[in-house]
Amino acid sequence: MKQQLDTIQVNALAAIAGAEDERSLEEVRITFLGKKGSLTTASAGMKDLPKEEKPAMGQALNEVRQAIQASLEQKRTELQAARDAASVEGLDMTLEGRDLARGGLHPLTEIKEKAVSILRRMGFALAEGPEIETEFHCFDALNTPQDHPARNEKDTFYFDSGKLLRTHTSSVQIRTMEAAKPPVRIIAPGSAYRRDEIDATHLSVFHQLEGLYVDENVTLGDLKGTLEYFLKAMFGDSTEVRFRPHFFPFTEPSFEIDVKLQAKGEEPKWIEVAGCGMVDPAVFSAVSTSRGDQVFESMTGFAFGMGLDRLAMIQWGIKDIRLLIENDVRFLSQFG
Ligand code: PHE
């Protein structure tokens, strides 16, 4: 039997050495070590041996098995290494990688996201409304009389249907109050359109962020505190904020808000960033008529609206608003 084992070992090692790939190596393994393999068959002869020969033969059997297994393992590693080497053959590993162009956020998107995240932390929820609006939502419900200059065909884009491109995001105030119950705390960022003469500071499309807070007993103090906090979070803690009396049909009293900012290499100066005021009772009345109930009649509130293009221009010292819609990569790649 010893003789037989030696022959198996010699044959197995020769077959392993001759295996050309992992598949034929596996076949060799089955031939010798498999359930019906020659070593397995040989070991079945153990039971016919005289008792005193069994231990020595058992040990010999183990040694042969181990030798074959070790040889199989080594060959498998060699074959794998050869396969790995073949798969990268001809590749020059010293070549530089290709540069991936990285995109970035548009400055308007960045400003909008910053403003929205501050206001959301303060409890305002996002609201939306259509850009093609009715005169009711854009003007009438906002207490804007028929002869107000903003309603002029020279200032506003009208469709034949009588609808128009919203001239401000304030129409979202009305739509929200038509659909919700107080308290209302919303912000609505979005596009607005005016028939302006196009130059470095005017386009026919621009971007606003509207805010509305409606509840019982809302005061001018709430308005000032909220907007001062917001503008400091936007422009820095030491930013000075100033409220200047102004007129809007839908708020009373109304203000424009200036912040004192210093552009690089320039003297600090006051820059107008937003309009705001206490919601005019006439707006609540229009909403009540539209809803057919009195839910908003006894309410108070404040509203504000700001130009996002202008905030972006201030933040990055952009001198021409047209750059914000031209999508020139040389301009855009400076951001993000
Ligand atoms: N809708 C005004 C504008 O476009 C801004 C504003 C909004 C003013 C809300 C007061 C309250 O100029």
How confident is the model over 59-85, as pLDDT tens digits? 988 999 999 999 999 999 999 998 898
- What is the per-residue pLDDT for 160? 96
Is residue 328's pLDDT more than 90?
Answer: yes
Together in a domain, 19 and 164: no
Tell me the average pLDDT across 149-156. 91
Percentage of residues in the chain having pLDDT higher than 90: 71
Closest C-alpha residue for ligand 1 atom 12: 275
How confident is the model over 175-216, as pLDDT tens digits? 999 999 999 999 999 999 999 899 998 999 999 999 999 999
The DSSP line for 57-116 is HHHHHHHHHHHHHHHHHHHHHHHHHHHHHHHTTT--TTSPPPPPPPP---HHHHHHHHHH
Q: Which domain holds residue 33?
A: 2-87
Task: Find the angle CA(227)-CA(116)-CA(193) to the nearest 5 degrees.
Answer: 90
Tell me the average pLDDT across 260-287. 91
Name every residue whose Cβ is closer than 8 Å to that of residue 177 and which is 6 or more positions away in sequence. Answer: 184, 212, 214, 284, 287, 291, 296
Last residue of a domain, one of 55, 87, 119: 87
Classify each residue of 175-189 as buried b or exposed e, where b means 16 or more C-beta atoms within 10 Å of its C-beta. Answer: bbbeebebebbbbbb
* Nearest atom, ligand 1, residue 211 CA: 9
Together in a domain, 82 and 116: no
Together in a domain, 168 and 302: yes
- What is the per-residue pLDDT for 304? 98
| Residue 243 near ligand 1, beta carbon < 6 Å | no
The CATH number assigned to the domain holding 253 equals: 3.30.930.10
The radius of gyration of the chain from alpha carbons, rounded to an integer in Å, stands at: 40
How confident is the model over 211-260, as pLDDT tens digits? 999 999 999 999 999 999 999 999 999 899 999 999 999 999 999 999 99
Q: Say how many Å lie between the CA of residue 280 and the centre of ligand 1.
A: 12
- Which contiguous run of DSSP H or E holds residue 17? helix 2-18
Q: How many domains does the chain have?
A: 2
How far is residue 113 from each of residues 78, 189, 320, measured CA to CA in Å?
57, 10, 22
| Residue 303 near ligand 1, beta carbon < 6 Å | yes
- Place 264 in a pLDDT band, splitting at 50, 70 and 90: low
Together in a domain, 174 and 307: yes
Backbone φ, ψ for residue 214 (5° rounding) = -130, 130
Tell me the average pLDDT across 117-123. 98
Inside any domain, residue 96: no
Together in a domain, 45 and 114: no
